[in-house]
Chain A
Amino acid sequence: MNTTTTATAKDGRTQIVRHNKIDLALHLLRDASDQSHRPLLLLHALGEQTPAAVPPWVESWRGAIHGLDFTGHGGSTIPRGGGYTAELLLGDADVALGALAPGSPDGMITVLGRGLGGYIALQLAGARASQVHGAIVLDGPGLAGGPTGPTSQSFFSLETHGEVPDPYALVELGRDLRPPDYVRAFVRLAIDGSDLDEPVAVCTVFRPDWLEAVAGEHGVMDVALAEALDAYA
């Protein structure tokens, strides 16, 4: 099924995975200290990129730790003319899943996202429930998202020159619609398809409406990060 084109960048720690016309940078931050543990995929927040080193808050993870730069961010392609959606980023994360899951001892990975990346982690947990062993949502830029329903809208173009991150990404992904019932559907998919009783962990202080709805669902842990990492290790 997976015909994703892959290549390895010069540093040997970054794999280039292809999502349609976009080359995505998938970074290996640290090899597994114990090969029996599954990989952890970090998804950065809006306007960020994969950190250069393992963040201290995931030091305890014993499997390999990877980070994906979303479209328009970090080392990934900056497309022309915008057109970003959260569902596009879900496709990015799914391509990364396709690259990492075969190397996992049980064919699954755990996903941890900050801000916007947390929203995508939740979506991935629902979309590929049998391959995601837990999704962790952390505070970070882009956590709020846009409105939960139709609004008066503005449409405009931006003067861009290939900047990183792409200004279109900042604008379009900063206002993506997140109706609570739409987001809850991903939680239910995760519960239906996962072997975990609680496949989603909300570890945020800030709770926008969509996340409040998620946190109230059966099958969602409302815990500190360390506890979530222990649960999914």
Chain B
Amino acid sequence: MTTVQSFDAKPRPAMREPTRWERLRSNRDWLGFWFMVPSMGLLTLFLAYPLFLGVWLSFTDTKIGRAGKFIGLENYEWLLDDKVFWLSVTNTMLYTVVASAAKFAIGLYLALLLNKHMPFKAIIRAIVLIPFIVPTVLSAIAFWWIYDSQFSIISWMLRKMGWITVNINFLGDPWNARWSTIFANVWRGIPFVAITLLAGLQTVSPSLYEAATLDGASGWQRFRYITYPILTPIIAVVMTFSVLFTFTDFQLIWALTRGGPVNATHLMATLSYQRAILGGNMGEGAAIATAMIPFLMFAVLVSWFGLQRRKWQQGVGND
């Protein structure tokens, strides 16, 4: 018996039909389903379901620790006559519009500055992002100290310069408090806008500017007819998110003023927290939160489509 024979004797494995289980195991839809289970499970349980539950709660008189019953639109009727609610609505509008506009203007300006050639560029860019890294509440606490009524460093500086004689009451006066919180929000939001717009700016080819300059375009014209159109899609996305997060802001206000003085800085989010969690009226709080949804959709649609409309000029599909 030779070795060759024993080698030949080994049978070759026959091709067999894949079993049902093997077919199923390689079926895309079946696999896809199981791959999606963890994310979809969490999102359904803690995002989609609460969203609907919130709308339902707003039609009930639920209190903390007591299940409510259906009372129709009573919560909303109550809110229509509620001066504090309307104050929070106008505050939210003012806060969103002013802060978003300022964030956009300063953020774009900062992005244009950072896009220039300069030494230590990477380090400067890293430094600019720091306000975005530090948790909002912790930087809000720093602002609280800066805005202190007695020991504010801003008041101290202005007094030394002789511009004011009495300390500014930053958070104690309604309008001062509004502007102070808006300033803190803008401060916190600028890095996000600037760095994302900078990433967009870096894709603009310098040869476009060179060609435009040769044709006699001024600096403003170069910005208006080259930079701005190319940036439009990314501006739309950035500002949509910026508006969204500003509109639903909670933590900055809560850390700085808790809605005070006398409800002057209440946003819809802080008011709903106060009514639902601190006041115990879950139904009423849920109605305020639900009332944010149409405003929110409107704000998102405006910033999305309003800024998006020039996209077709790019000539390429966005991805």
Is the pairing of A and B real? no
